Amino acid sequence: MIGTGIGNLAAGIYLIRDGGFNGDQITMMGLEDHCANDGAAVKDYENEYGNQALSNNKGFLAKGGRMLNEETFENLWDVLRSVPSLDHPGQTVTDDILNFDHAHPTHDVGRLIDHNGPRVNPGKDNYKHMQFDNKDRYLLSKLMLMPEKDEEKLNNISIAQWFASSPHFFTTNFWYMWQTTFAFKRASSAVELRRYMNRMILEFSRINTLEGVTRSPYNQFESIILPMRKYLEDRGVTFINNRKVTELEFKNTPLQDDIVVTGLKYEEVDNDNKEGHIDIAENDLVFDTNGSITDSSAIGDFNTPFKENMDYAPSATLWKKAAEKFYSLGNPDKFFGDRTQSEWVSFTVTTNNHFLVNEISRITQQEPGNALNTWIESTPLLSIVVHHQPHFKAQKPNESTFWGYFMYPRRNGDYVQKPVMEMTGKEMLEELLGNLAATDPSKDNIKNHTEEIMDSIVNVIPVHLPYASAMFNQRAVGDRPDVVPKHSRNLAFISQFCEQPFDMVFTEQYSFRAAQRAVYTLLNIPLSEMTPMHHYEKDPKVMARATKTMFR
């Protein structure tokens, strides 16, 4: 297993649970001792980042966040039903998450915010309005109803190109909600928008409240990753940290048709990059994470801006070397060669009291845990997520933490006159406070409490993610390799950058399903036995609600 992200963890569980493997037959090699899926305490990051270590080793860090979905994450819930809870003996991780979510259902009333305050609030005239005109409806319906076999007609077509004859689409409530919920940009692939519209059509009619969002009790590293690792470790799986696989060696075969991995070259990152080699036997299997959206990230702190990391993604470098040898392994440059399509900047705020979080609740009119707020008039397009507290198990009772991101970090802020890329954590917080103050209807405006808020700050940690939404980059059929490429005898890809039908990238579900497909294919388990998926796009009642939503 190359990479210790959630996809390979899932593959390890499938190998043991469904493939009859013993744990001691599985070795996982990764650059981190924790998956950067969601968040971990900053103290853990000092070793990970070395010369990028924080000068103020305090606070919490979430590079990003993921929204789960009860109805469409079929593989995730199935696997996590096999993983025991670390917090509640006798329960599974699926029990943990769904029980928590059912007790704390999401209902966002401040999803979009403009200069008048929450825009899609029940008290506003345009509550629930998608704001489509007929041309918008026609183009969106045409995209969604395109048969899967015709997806190649969307090769290298951006969302902006698809809606070029109706620029009004990009001014609608729908677009502001959709792009910031799922991290689409105008430059993103129209293919992926089509897939999302089909796979997530159940959520289309309630996207203004995000009622379909399923939240975990804590950040997903602690709620999902740690229990999965514990399951695997208890069964004898070997984890090797800080090992970077640098090259796949292949068997020379006639016309290079057969893909057979015979060896791995690697470097020990924490040992002066000492080089090593692993022989791959004829019956061994190799599962590669061919691309990670957290690769080449850069971190700053409260008083220090990050320094952009210009490295090509390490996980994609390995993929690129392999793709140069075999025509069927895709084109990583499509996803990792243009940061303008994929980058954004996130920041995590930790405070030593709850005043700021309470002020955000007052202004947005919702309690912590109710999804996502976006300031649609923000030049760099600012959004925040205030989770249920505590979001990290190590949080003290007096501490609060929340996460935010800017989708267009090359743009200047509205309250801090410099590009987000050049801002310190403090300046990103000032940009947020400026947006909050501009929409604060209270006579006792939040700007009157700036000094009090600043005194409460433990840290604000900015992170640049050059490949955050790289899986949405414009692409063509063949740019992503199959999970198990044609003629592969022992190599599978598990990531957001492998190809499988119907499902949608930028979800844990995609990685879990790729894991199942990889294991079942290489072990000759019939694919007909894979976890069944829902097809709400074929449900007349769901489609009727979606049609009604188009016109509201």
Q: Annotated active-site positions, please? A: 196
Coil/strand/helix, residue 482? strand
Alpha-carbon gap, residue 379 to 417, rounded angstroms: 11
The helix or strand, by DSSP H or E, that contains position 229, with its residue range, turns out to be: helix 226-234
Number of C-beta neighbours around residue 544 at 10 A: 11
Read off the DSSP letter of residue 83.
S
- 138/166 Cα distance (integer angstroms): 10
Query: Which residues pair with residue 402 across a beta bridge?
Result: 349
Strand, helix or coil for residue 162: helix
Q: What is the separation of C-alpha 250 from the centre of its chain, rounded to a whole number of angstroms?
A: 32
- In 3D space, the residue among 409, 489, 484, 424 whose CA is nearest the CA of residue 454 turns out to be 424
- Pick from 121, 109, 115: nearest CA to 437: 115
Measured CA distances, 90 to 114, 162, 233, 234 (Å): 47, 50, 19, 16
Report helix, strand or coil for 263.
Answer: strand
Q: At residue 329, what is the residue type?
A: L
Torsions phi, psi for 337 (to 5 deg) = -105, -5
Task: Spell out the residues 6+ positions from residue 20 whose beta carbon is closer than 8 angstroms to its own.
Answer: none
**What order do you get walking across the sheet with 261-268 strand by strand?**
243-250, 261-268, 274-279
Centre a 10 Å sphere on the Cβ of residue 152 and count the other Cβ atoms it contains. Answer: 10
The token duo for 25 is: 């037959």
Task: Tell me how far apart the alpha carbons of residues 491 and 484 are, in angstroms, rounded to a whole number.
Answer: 7
Taking 3-state DSSP, the helix, strand and coil percentages for the chain, each rounded to the nearest 5, stand at 35, 15, 45
Query: Which two tokens mark 125?
Result: 């005239």
How far apart are the C-alpha atoms of 314 and 381, rounded to whole Å?
A: 29
Task: Output 444-453 pairs: Cβ under 8 A, ≥24 positions apart.
Answer: 446/359, 446/363, 449/355, 449/359, 452/355, 453/351, 453/355, 453/356, 453/359
What are the tokens at 456? 């409460």
Q: Look at residues 356, 364, 350, 303 and name the one whose alpha carbon lies nearest to residue 118.
A: 364
Q: Please give the helix or strand (H or E) that residue 508 lies within, else none.
A: helix 508-522
Cα–Cα distances in Å, from 429 out to 37, 50, 64, 109, 126? 23, 25, 17, 23, 30
* Pairing assessment for the beta strands 400-406 and 344-351 based on DSSP bridges: antiparallel
Report whether 216 contacts 227 (CB < 8 A).
no
Among 198, 190, 196, which residue's Cα sits nearest to residue 151?
190
Q: What's at 278, amino acid-wise?
A: I
